[in-house]
Structure formats: structure tokens, C-alpha cells
Amino acid sequence: MLLEILLASVLGFVIYWFVSKDKEETLPLEDGWWGPGVRPTAGEDESIRPFKVETSDEEINDLHQRIEKVRLAPPLEDSRFHYGFNSNYLRKVISYWRNGFDWRKQVEILNKYPHFKTKIEGLDIHFIHVKPPQLPSGHTPKPLLMVHGWPGSFYEFYKIIPLLTDPKNHGLSDEHVFEVICPSIPGYGFSEASSKKGCNSVATARIFYKLMLRLGFQQFYIQGGDWGALICTNMAQLVPSHVKGLHLNMALILRNFYTISLLLGRRFGGLFGYTERDMELLYPFKKVFYSLVRESGYMHIQCTKPDTVGCALNDSPVGLAAYILEKFSTWTNSEFRDLEDGGLERKFSLDDLLTGIMLYWTTGTITSSQRFYKENLGQGFMANKHETMKVYVPTGFAAFPYELVHLPEKWVKSKYPKLLSYSYMPRGGHFAAFEEPELLAQDIRKFVGLVERQ
């Protein structure tokens, strides 16, 4: 007992020293060129061009032919989703994909918001830009950049957008009305992939910052989860004076002595600032640890040799669907692995899920999307300078209970000292905007209200 108290005291001193020695700093903005070949001497075309999602009979027929030729191995008895995507349920998914899913209708849905493309650092960057249909007298919309992750896309935000741009017609106050910009990460969907190595989260943050400037926004709010959380964090580290507020539903916090407290927190949770809810979400630690190991196998592949598995996934729509949709099962709720259907249709419709798959399939971007892991984690995450830096912009954090790793408020505040809002969300997992748009919209609005009142 005395030894544990001594260790906790020493750890507390180390944490204090570690936190107090950090200085406020920013990442260098720099510049980049990710297009093919040598950077042209002429200036870049900065025009913003309308874009429309399209399809064809040839594209749909090719998909159907590939689906019809699928070869599946039977699952083990009573394996459910413990071995990955259960092929018995996969047969139901691909039957609907082949016979019930209407891609042309989904393309019309995708085109209900205005799409655009513009060249930045040699890449054609795709984004949707949704303005409020109406504004209260005397109000101006608040620009909000929302960034997706993997294996997601801009489509994840389609249900939250009207809650932010048209709140009054959706039963919400019109005190805060947003103008929403959702770009596609380079190499994802309709954004051109880099031709060169090194296009990481910092480069992407800089590209999206240039996008916001090109759209005429000098100050704006930013929001993200998964890679979007890291990209938005990097943007706040690059240009903090341009970021009015940063809202996250996930964060990567590795250089943090609070994480060591996991070993002692079960007994000394109060000493480390853990609430009762934190204790429920962090322990038993063995269960949380094994869950994290179980769900991170894909990451080791994509951090090292993304092109190898990419060859298989880019050639097989069924393989691609199984690989991606498995994440929408267990990342939504790890206990869904105990269900025969992975619980997929408890939170999402097959139309929405397959639309996400089609954005990878029709653009052929699964390999380039996976390379983002190697660019960011291939040399080890701790090798990145931004991981050692704090973020000094007003920050809000929504802690969804089924996120892959729970982050207590103390952990978040150690990285984001200007944390204004920390919310324990009542339900939801990794794909917050896609799964729980109303909850996320309410938390964003609450956070922005706090920022505006400062």
C-alpha cells in the first residue's frame, strides 16, 4: 500500500513537471507540391469549379458482374463476427447490393449538396459547400470545416449538415447557423491522390487551410473525428489565429504521462481526476486493452504495406465491402461482434453503408486512402513533431461511450489546455456524425455558444 502511494506521488510530480515545461508554439506552415512530376513554374490555377457525381451503365454492370462471381468461404459455426465479417451475413448484404441497391438514386442524393473542386498544392481537392437556406435578420453564418476519417467520407456528414445550416426547420434554435464545408482528404473519394511520398495530416491541414482562405474565410470553426481529428488539430497548431474553435469527437494523445496512470487508476482514480464515468469506460483495463489490440490489426498492415492489401480490395467489391463494413460494426459498438449480423443495421441502413463503399469503389481510392496510415504512422507516431505540441485554441470534446479508446477530461486538457467543453455523450461510437447526428450537432452548438460568449 505504501509503495503504491509513493509511486502515485512520484508519478504526480512527473506529470506536473511534464505539463509545466511545455511552451506555446506553432507548427511551421511551409508549402508543398503533391502533383505528378516537377512543380510548374507558372502559378497554380486557383479557380473553384462545380463538380457533379456521375455514374454509367458500364460502371454499374461491371460492379454487378464482379458481385455475381464472388467466392466466399463458409464461416465457422457460432463464430458470429469474432473472426471478422461473417460470410453468411455478407451474402445478405451482397444480394441487396446486386438486386436492391439503387446507385443512381444514391448519386442523386449525393448531388443534393453543391460539390466543387479546386487545385491546391498540385492536387484536385474535392469538397461540398453548404450555405444556410435562410438566416435570421442581422445574423451571419459561422463557417465550419468538417473533416472525415477512414474508412469514411464526406457522406458521413449528410445528416448533420441540415441540423447546422437550417436548425430552425429541424426543431433547433437559430442562434447559431453554420455554413458547412466538407472536403475529401487527398486520396479519398473525389480528391486526387498524392503522387509523392509524405502527404500526411500536417500537409492535409495546410491544404484545407488554403481551401478555407480561397473560399474567403479568415476565421472559422473546425470539427473532426478519426483522421479528421488529427487534421483539425494540426490546423490549430499551424494557424491558431485563424481557428475560432476546434471541436473533436476523438483525439490522439500518446505523449502524455496521464496514460501511465491507467496502471494505478483503478485504485487511485480520484487522484488522477477520473470521474465515476471515466472509471466505467476505462476499466477493467484488461478488457479495454484486448479490445484495442483486437481492433488495430488493420492499422499494422496499413502503416507498413498498404499497397499489398490495396491490390486485393481495389479488385473485389465484395472484399472491399467486408473490409470496410466490419469497421462500421465493431467501431460502433465492440459488443456487436457477438451478433450474427454484426449489428450493422441497428444503427445504419444498407443504403447508407453501401453508398460509403461505392465512394471508394467507383473512385478506386482504397489503396491511396490506406497510404495515409503509412504517411502518418509509418515512422512511428512519436516521430511527428505535432505530437509533442499542445493546442492553444478554444476546444470542445464529445466523448462517445463506444469510441475505441475513452479519453478522460484530464487527458484531453493536457493536450488542449483551452478546453471549454467536455461532454459525456449518452450513446454512440466512432462514426459520431453518421450514427448520432443530432447528439453531435447539439454538442457543436453548445461549444460554439461558449466560444462566442467569451
In the chain the domains, ranked by start, together with CATH numbers, are 48-452 (3.40.50.1820)
Cell 486512402 maps to which residue? 369
Lowest mean pLDDT among 11-25, 108-122, 193-207, 423-437: 11-25
Helices 297-304 and 366-377: angle between axes, nearest 10 degrees: 90
In this prediction, residues 334-358 reach a mean pLDDT of 98
Q: Which of 188, 373, 402, 422 is catalytic?
A: 373
Residue 267 has pLDDT above 90, yes or no: no
In this prediction, residues 375-389 reach a mean pLDDT of 83
In this prediction, residues 205-221 reach a mean pLDDT of 98
Lowest mean pLDDT among 13-17, 276-280, 430-434, 435-439: 13-17
Percent of the chain with pLDDT over 70: 92
Percent of the chain with pLDDT over 90: 85
pLDDT at 48: 98
Model confidence over 30-64: pLDDT tens digits?
A: 999 999 999 999 989 999 999 999 999 999 999 99
**Residue 356 Cα distances to 85, 135, 156, 349, angstroms:** 17, 31, 8, 11
In this prediction, residues 333-362 reach a mean pLDDT of 98
Q: Which of 115, 176, 386, 430 is catalytic?
A: 430
pLDDT at 246: 99
- 3-state secondary structure labels for all residues of the chain: CHHHHHHHHHHHHHHHHHHHHCCCCCCCCCCCCCCCCCCCCCCCCCCEEEECCCCCHHHHHHHHHHHHCCCCCCCCCCCCCCCCCCHHHHHHHHHHHHHCCCHHHHHHHHCCCCEEEEEECCEEEEEEEECCCCCCCCCCCEEEEEECCCCCCHHHHCCCHHHHHCHHHHCCCCCCCEEEEEECCCCCCCCCCCCCCCCCHHHHHHHHHHHHHHCCCCCEEEEECCHHHHHHHHHHHHCHHHEEEEEECCCCCCCCHHHHHHHHHHHHHHHHCCCHHHHHHHCCHHHHHHHHHHHCHHHHHHHHCHHHHHHHHHHCHHHHHHHHHHHHHHCCCHHHHHCCCCCHHHHCCHHHHHHHHHHHHCCCCHHHHHHHHHHHHCCCHHHCHHHHCCCCCCEEEEECCCCCCCCCHHHHHHHCCCEEEEEECCCCCCCHHHHCHHHHHHHHHHHHHHHHHC
Active site residue 298: no
Mean pLDDT taken over the chain = 93
Peptide bond into 75 cis (omega under 30): no
Model confidence over 394-450: pLDDT tens digits?
A: 999 999 999 999 999 999 999 999 999 999 999 999 999 999 999 999 999 999 999
Model confidence over 170-192: pLDDT tens digits?
A: 999 999 999 999 999 999 999 99
Residue 224 has pLDDT above 90, yes or no: yes
Q: Which of 148, 158, 221, 226 is catalytic?
A: 226
Active site residue 209: no
Active site residue 373: yes
> Using 50, 70 and 90 to split pLDDT, how confident is the model at 381?
low
Model confidence over 122-151: pLDDT tens digits?
A: 999 999 999 999 998 888 999 999 999 999
